[in-house]
Structure 1
Amino acid sequence: MAHSTNNKALSLKDTVVISLMTFALFLGAGNVIFPPALGLEAGTSLLPAMSGFLFTAVGLPAFALVVLGMVGKANQLTSPLATVLNRGFWIGLFVAIGPAFAMPRAVTVAYEMGLRPFVQGDYLLPFAIVFSLITLLLTYNSQKLVDLIGKVMTPAMIIMLAAIAVAALLFPLGNPAEPGGRYAIAPVTEGVMQGYMTMDALAAVGFGWVIIQAINSKGVTSSAQIAKSTMHIALIYSVLMGGCYIALGYVGATATSITQGAANGGEILSFYVYEIFGDSGQLLLAGIIILACLSTTVGLTQANAEYFSSTFKLNRNTVSFTVVIVTCIIANFGLEQIITYSLPAILILCPVALALVVASFVSHYFPQVKPAHNVAMILTLLFGTVDAMHIVGVIPASMDNVFAAHLPLYTVNTSWLIPCLTGIVVQSLMSVLTGSATKTQEAI
């Protein structure tokens, strides 16, 4: 296969802009409202809980981005798969993180926290229409997407979040309480589990299409420079997202005096900003949530357009329009219905995406072995389905006890990990012992 001789590097300015865009793409409403809930419940165990959370909520997505940069193109992540598995994975992923779940959720959360506190009556439908139209306008020009999110929307969100973080340090509204629930027993483990459940590693695979395309749009096309640029972007993203999580976790831990009756992290954050900033605090929070959700829907629309237009030769604008229209329709069914019907698929796709990232990482550093993507995906699909059924709560009690006793990591919903890693190792060793890897390389 021919490689580009262009060795142009990404400039510092472009690296910063794309890094800010990457941070904004990941910073959805869930990422803003989850850490306060963790901080409140972890209390005095905030640091160990947050360390575990950062490993899976920031470390895994960053690792996925780095691996995508190594392979050069997002679709190379699945190129060793059988065609049916390849197409099935990408279609399932983009439908799930696009119009079926993540995008409608972003629209409804933006409405619930960005507009509903200020109006009387139900305005979800008109809000969804306006929100969708803005998403379309920002999506139709990919360069404007990079510039707008990287230069305008992200700095605005960072300033807003920084204001909340500084206020939390200067004006804490209470002292951290004793940890509750599983945080009292194993705060690091619980933090790891909660971070894994953010599913940002899945989003990283989808956003890879947008990020690599943004790098290419700056004239950077060589494999080495794409890998280097992606590593720098992943590092900046990790620092920004990690700082955001730590700050918001601290807000939750030190807001004990005003959190009575709070049902979730969103309400904790809402109570806090109102207490500190008054009515202007409500507007501040609304601005953060709407910008976060908008950056997510724009990025996911762009990712869907990149995949379906390049794979099936569809018109990019037509794909974007279809994705946004379907999102607008599904959003009006309400957040609970969206989660109920879409969550199982998301819970299965997330470990499958991680398995493919690990298999690609191994293939990159050990090109002499036959890629183990097929076995990794099949094993992860099987055991990941078991984990998803466990999380959803549909496994019978008798089977649940058997799995808990005999299936490693089942109790932390990662029983797929050991079979996946074992499958990759065994496949790699067999390819070396049988010589199939050498033959494959020679054939290429």
Structure 2
Amino acid sequence: MKRRELAAIGFMTFALFLGAGNLIFPPMMAQQAGENWLIAIVGFLLTAVGLPALTLIVLGRLSSADKLTASLPHWMDRTFWFLVLTTLGPAFVLPRAVTVAYEMGIKPFYQGNGLMLFSVLFCLLTLILALKPGKLVSYIGKVMTPALIVMLALLVIAALINPLGSPTDANAIYKAAPTVNGMIQGYMTLDAIAAVAFGWVIIQTIRGTGISCNKAISYYTLRIAGIYALLMSLCYLAMGYLGATSSSIAPNSTNGGEILTRYAAGEFGTFGQILLATITLMACLTTTIGLTNANGEYYKNTYNVPFKISAVVIMSLTTIISNVGLETIIEVSLPAILILCPIAVSLIIAIIFMPNTVSNEKRKFSMSQTLIVIIATLFGSIDALNILGKIPSAIHQDLTAWLPLFNAHASWLLPVLVTIFSSKVIHIIQRNRNAVATC
């Protein structure tokens, strides 16, 4: 693969992940962290960038995204992918991207209610670009991403030259543990689960350049993950700086979007509002294209559904849900994503420490992998209920006292690690017994 192609795919990967939510998270966190914003951002990068990059690297080593779950029972494998791609697609993330694009990109300049017309046009544009997956690198990696980077750089350079404030005192939680709370916020971007879906797109894009050797796919995925990690880290640092220096222009803001809007207007006036609107629209568009492509690739490879049919159905559903009952859909879908994320990360960790549970030749059932998914689902459900505020106060106090990492929304981590370690030990003991028996 030529360096130019590699860079273009790396840029495309960065753009796929860079949705409006990714722009909004760091400014809000950095404003709250105040003088500790850099320490908090380090923790944020570990989970918001580190976990997705690790996921891409593991998927590249497998050379196919579907091998991540190939050791699970067939029904569990299909259920996992269906839920991941449905919630990241028309049931949650796609409608949210359309709505956010309208709220931040169009509504500030339009007094009426134009969401329906906008959603139709936005989804139609997404469909047109997604129906030519072979040209994704040209559309996104070579054109849209460089333009997006230039616009972000313009805003950040202006902030460096003329900051609109200075970091204030950190609030209580960021005074006590800035790095840990940064890690929690990074985990809550849920980009680790997005990386599982985008793995379909990235590996297929690599194959589209004529590369079919598994080792080569692993090698290039590693380098693409590196490009993504570098660009996304720089973006998060830049957005964090804007939030940390927004004390005078946007004090006590309720969300990162408000901070960015006021900062852009403060630096450039009306042009700044147009600049931010363009950044938001482009960031949302690259994400919707990537997720539509990921869904289409999955249904084509798994169920032999033609890519065009899948893409049309997905965009049609997205258009409808963007206009009707999005809040209800979010209430239903968010718990699923909060549970699926621990499952996905657990599978990645398991494959790192137990690579022999995955076969490159054929499906091979693994009791260890299945048990890990069950445990991640159980404890991930507890974390999801905690995040959604659905746990009674008395039970919440008991779980805080007795369940490790409960307040960090990662109570699934220790049980999963113990299960992986135990499975590894059992496997070594069985292998040694078999070796002795054959002597």
Preserved contact between residue 370 and residue 431 of structure 1 (Cα < 8 Å): no
Q: Match for 2:84 among 89, 93, 117?
A: 93
Whether the 8 Å contact between 2:193 and 2:340 is mirrored in structure 1 is yes
The equivalent residue for 2:387 is: 391
| Counterpart check, 1:342 vs 2:338 | no
Q: What is residue 259 of structure 1 aligned with on the other side?
A: 250
Per-residue CA deviations over 1:389-444 (Å, capped at 9, x if unaligned) read 011011111111111111111110100001111111212222332349979xxxxx
Structure 1 residues 423 and 281: CA distance shift in structure 2, 3 A = same
Deviation at 1:146, TM superposition (A): 1.8
Most deviating of 35-44 and 207-216: 35-44
CA distance in 1 between counterparts of 2:155 and 2:296 reads 35
Please tell me whether the aligned partners of residues 140 and 317 of structure 1 are also in contact (alpha carbons under 8 angstroms). Answer: yes
CA distance in 1, matches of 2:434, 2:327: 52
Q: Is the 8 A contact 2:14 2:232 kept in 1?
A: yes
**2-structure distance, mates of 1:413, 1:436:** 38
Q: In the alignment, which of 13, 23, 30 is matched to residue 21 of structure 2?
A: 30
Report Cα offsets for 1:323-363 as digits up to 9, x if no partner.
11111111113654443222111100111110111112223
1:131 matched to 2:122: yes
1:187 equivalent in alignment to 2:178: yes
Residue 120 (structure 1) aligns with:
111
- CA 1:385/1:437 → structure 2, altered by over 3 Å: closer, same or farther? farther
Whether the 8 Å contact between 2:31 and 2:244 is mirrored in structure 1 is yes
The unaligned stretches of length 5 or more in structure 2 are none
Q: Distance in 1 between matches of 2:99 and 2:358?
A: 45
Q: Decide whether the 8 Å contact of 2:165 with 2:247 is kept in 1.
A: yes
1:221 pairs, out of 205, 212, 215, with 212
Note closer, same or farther for the CA distance 1:428–1:287 as it changes in structure 2 (3 Å cut).
same
| Deviation by residue 1:104-123 (Cα, 9 ceiling, x = unmatched) | 00000000000000011110
Tell whether 2:398 aligns with 1:402: yes
Alignment of 1:404-419 (within 5 A): 404-419=400-415
Q: Tell me, in whole angstroms, the C-alpha distance in 2 between the residues paired with 1:405 and 1:271.
A: 42
Report the CA distance shift for 1:313/1:272 in structure 2 as closer, same or farther (over 3 A).
same
Give the Å deviation of 1:309: 1.1
Deviations 1:127-161 (Å, cap 9, x if unpaired)? 00000000000001112122100011101110011
For 1:81, what is the secondary structure of its paired residue? coil
Cα distance per residue 1:264-290 (max 9 Å; x no partner): 100110000001011011110010000
Decide whether the 8 Å contact of 2:71 with 2:357 is kept in 1. Answer: no
Distance 1:44 1:285 in 2: 26
After the TM superposition, which of the residue ranges 363-372 and 195-204 deviates more from structure 2? 363-372
* 2:421 corresponds to 1:425: yes
CA distance in 2, matches of 1:180, 1:171: 25
Q: Which runs of 4+ in 1 moved over 2 A?
A: 260-263, 333-341, 362-372, 431-439
- The count of residues paired between Structure 1 and Structure 2 equals 430
Cα offset, 1:308, TM superposition: 0.9
Task: Pick closer, same or farther for the CA change 1:353–1:162 going to 2, 3 Å.
Answer: same
The equivalent residue for 1:79 is 70
User: Cα distance 1:240–1:437, how it changes in 2: closer, same or farther (>3 A)?
Assistant: farther
Match of 1:303 in 2: 294
SS in 1 for 2:170: coil
Amino acid at match of 2:200: W
Residues 150-205 of structure 1 deviation map (CA, whole Å, 9 limit, x = unaligned): 01110111001101111111000111000114112111111000000000000000
Residue identity matched to 1:397: S
Residues 397/261 of structure 1: CA separation in 2 closer, same or farther (3 Å cut): closer
Q: In structure 1, how many angstroms separate the alpha carbons of the residues matched to 2:433 and 2:52?
A: 29
What secondary structure does 1:394 align onto? coil
* 2-structure distance, mates of 1:265, 1:437: 58
Following TM superposition, by how much is the alpha carbon of 1:263 offset from its aligned partner in structure 2, in angstroms?
2.2
* 1:285-324 superposed matches below 5 A: 285-324=276-315
TM-score with structure 1 setting the length: 0.94
Give distance in 2, aligned partners of 1:323 and 1:362: 36
Kindly provide the amino acid, as one letter, of the partner of residue 34 in structure 2: G
> Which residue of the other structure, out of 434, 441, 444, is the alignment partner of 2:430?
434
Distance 1:204 1:352 in 2: 13
TM-score norm. by structure 2 comes to: 0.95
Shift of the alpha carbon at 1:366?
8.2
The residue that corresponds to 1:177 in the other structure is 168
1:200 aligns with 2:191: yes
Amino acid corresponding to residue 389 of structure 1 in structure 2: L
Q: Name which of 246, 249, 259 aligns with 1:268.
A: 259
Aligned AA for 1:409?
L
Partner of 1:400: helix, strand, or coil? helix
Gap change, CA 1:363 and 1:390, over 3 Å in 2: same
Whole-angstrom distance in 2 between the partners of 1:223 and 1:299? 23
Offset, 1:29 = 0.5
Given residue 405 of structure 2, which amino acid in structure 1 is its aligned partner?
L
State whether residues 99 and 323 of structure 1, in contact with CA within 8 Å, keep that contact through their aligned partners in structure 2: yes
Corresponding residue SS for 1:269: helix
Distance 2:245 2:329 in 1: 32
Q: How far, CA to CA, are the matches of 1:24 and 1:393 in structure 2?
A: 33
CA contact (8 A) 1:432 1:438 kept: no
Q: Give distance in 2, aligned partners of 1:184 and 1:170.
A: 28
Contact 1:71/1:364 (<8 A) preserved:
no
What's the RMSD between the two structures over aligned residues? Answer: 1.8
> Cα–Cα, structure 1 residues 434 and 139, in superposed 2: closer, same or farther, change >3 Å?
same
Contact 2:71 2:365 in 1 (8 A): no
| Aligned mates of 1:83, 1:227 — CA distance in 2 | 25
Task: Tell whether 2:59 aligns with 1:49.
Answer: no
Q: Is the 8 A contact 2:296 2:307 kept in 1?
A: yes
Distance in 1, Cα, partners of 2:10 & 2:4 = 10
Aligned equivalents of 2:137 and 2:191: distance in 1?
A: 20
CA–CA separation in structure 1 for the residues paired with 2:108 and 2:8: 33
* Aligned-pair identity (%): 47
Which residue of 2 is the match for residue 70 of structure 1? 61
Where 2:212 maps in the other structure, the secondary structure is: coil
Q: Is the 8 A contact 1:104 1:338 kept in 2?
A: no
